[in-house]
Chains A and B, each alone.
Chain A
């Protein structure tokens, strides 16, 4: 068991040195092959058919050719060069994760019921629903483990929490991919679309993003105590998503014309990188506030040993904002680009746009307070917590309470 854990940890030879380097270039070659097929292959790029083309013989040949070229290139680079090439070591685990998700999706497809048992009207037969339920259970369990870890830092529950959170990420990611595939199973495939089109789908995406950001921070900075603050946020989201399922919001529905654009696949996920990072920042700040008050009231508390230090929490909160803020900025800009294409103007003061601006201003002010005024500690921690509340309103509240051009996310 521990041998497997070592092999999968970031310091294992799987993710370092020549092996990572060659694999990285193989991946990049495959991607280049995919792009080349879209550009040069017979028939050209047809959005809804491209994914099928990828898994056909033609696609395999293009990707394999790209991979071979990539591997060949990797071997021509000298030993010194690849040692200095940290790029592959950073990139490879991410692509590995994506490949694992794809493989899981491939396995789940095998369990998909036959066409006559699937109908648009009753989607309860689809496998993705069950995978999402598994994800829900895993994430809730993980949240419990992390909370238990605060009280029993020496037991295995901490590790269990990390493992189940990762398992939840893979379940969620593969469920989304599977849902993408499933959306093509109805009505001759004409309603197929990326699974980022309604609240239910983006919630699953959000869980994955929050978990991945947190777990990456956890493995880099050894801050497992933070999980007890991040995972409850995820758990609350899970309950909301279960409620959405119960009111029939989990169904795959056709896209309204305004959403039928490649921009959706870029704008929405990028936005959720921002939201997810802000959630982690909020959790780190909440942990800061709690630790601070424990320190003041009871400096000998045993629990303090489990918490990351105040300085670390302050740093982690900032680090999350540093991930989220540029992503959110870029997402908003790309949203403006999409608006310019679909609505006739890059900025319409639509409620969602305006609230995105407010979120941006709140975190912009956070950064100014931190760097120009050297503000740290309590005020900044509260700022990050309140900033996340504003973010939640921007994400869910606007859809529920305010009407506007972004009304596809509304609950009906």
Chain B
């Protein structure tokens, strides 16, 4: 029933990037020791202070939702935003690199349900603590490729997250040109 409700929510968000159901459990417990060991270097694939932009696809069976995920790492946290292609925000997230707790903020109304947020938090934590390396547990499998594209499968809820880095360098230069020419 929850899965059904969440799928409804996903479809209702039109093209918003979102997530799904229920009770995900503490998958990351298995890698807790490893995570603690590297608490100050939580996410090796994210250079400190840099903003990284990804194309994100979340799939569940025949449902396929796309959007943009923007992540920034600072000394003490990893923060980010997920939005759809039109720029409509789905949610913000922030993870402390000290205790690896994730908080979701400014969650769009349709996703603002405890069971969706729980899975989102656990899935995001699994991805953000990967240190740029593939890893797996009983319920989640993450594959990280050389180009830092990633695929994470939540086996419990049959969810697949695909993240591909966006090359936005040329865009930024072009847009500045446009902005200047409009002045």
The answer to whether A and B assemble together is no
